[in-house]
Amino acid sequence: MLDGLMREVIDAPLNEGGRWLAARGASANAVTLAGLVLGLAAAAMLWSGWSGLVVAGVLILSRLADGLDGAVARARGKSDFGGYLDIVCDFAFYGAIPLAFVLRDPTANGVAGAFLLFSFYVNAATFLGFAILAEKHGLESRIRGEKSLYFTAGLMEGTETILCFVVLVLWPALFGPLAWIFGTLCLVTALARVMLAARTFR
């Protein structure tokens, strides 16, 4: 829901940063993988019992790299594999953070974490399925910027997920209730996307 607004704010500085990195030889895939490493490092820190500003900073740096990889690709030339690698690393990151909370305290966080991961799984299926059919039907969209895949808008998108993760890192005791709330909203997003697919592809 907030991704469109965020793009208006961050696109210009990201593109400038992407051109700077590209001019110094950085590849988009390397930036993508750096973002994943930072994201997994944040998850490992959470699993180990860390919390607070340090973990939040690592997490935000991970997502900054996730934004910069596309900017580098636009500066150096995009590739289909780059888009594929980006979405795989994104989903690995999105799964790693809830998993870290579950591993940190299985008794308190296990059920809520399993529900959150289930909601991510269903939401991802509706997102990727829609993108596949959109490609088949020749549909294009720039509503979420220039992407390798067709992006459908939703109630819960990347911006909301990152904000939720930052809140959880800073206040880990909130994981249970926030996981149930956020997971439910992800399922609402998935249902809305199914309804959109029914209207679009019939």
In one letter, which amino acid is 86?
D
- Count CB-CB contacts under 10 A for residue 82: 20
Provide the pLDDT for residue 147: 54
Mean pLDDT across 7-30:
86
What backbone phi and psi angles, to 5 degrees, belong to 167? Answer: -60, -45
Task: Using pLDDT thresholds of 50, 70 and 90, give the confidence band for residue 186.
Answer: very high
Q: Is 130 helix (H, G, I), strand (E, B) or coil?
A: helix
24, exposed or middle or buried, with CB in 10 Å at 0-12, 13-18, 19+? Answer: exposed
Task: Using pLDDT thresholds of 50, 70 and 90, give the confidence band for residue 9.
Answer: low
Provide the pLDDT for residue 13: 87
Tell me: pLDDT of 138 over 70.
yes
Domains of the chain plus CATH, in order, are 3-201 (1.20.120.1760)
The residue with tokens 């490493």 is 37
Mean pLDDT across 155-176:
90
Nearest to 59 by CA among 160, 163, 157: 163
3-class SS string, 17-41: HHHHHHHCCCCHHHHHHHHHHHHHH
Provide the pLDDT for residue 158: 77
In tens, the pLDDT along 89-117 reads: 999 999 999 999 999 999 999 999 999 99
Mean pLDDT of the chain: 89
d(CA 22, CA 16): 10
The model carries a pTM of 0.87
What backbone phi and psi angles, to 5 degrees, belong to 126? Answer: -70, -35
Contacts of 183 (CB under 8 A, 6+ apart): 112, 115, 116, 118, 119, 120
Task: Using pLDDT thresholds of 50, 70 and 90, give the confidence band for residue 139.
Answer: confident
d(CA 168, CA 107): 17
Mean pLDDT across 46-69:
94
Query: Running DSSP on this structure, what letter comes out for residue 3?
Result: H
Provide the pLDDT for residue 91: 95
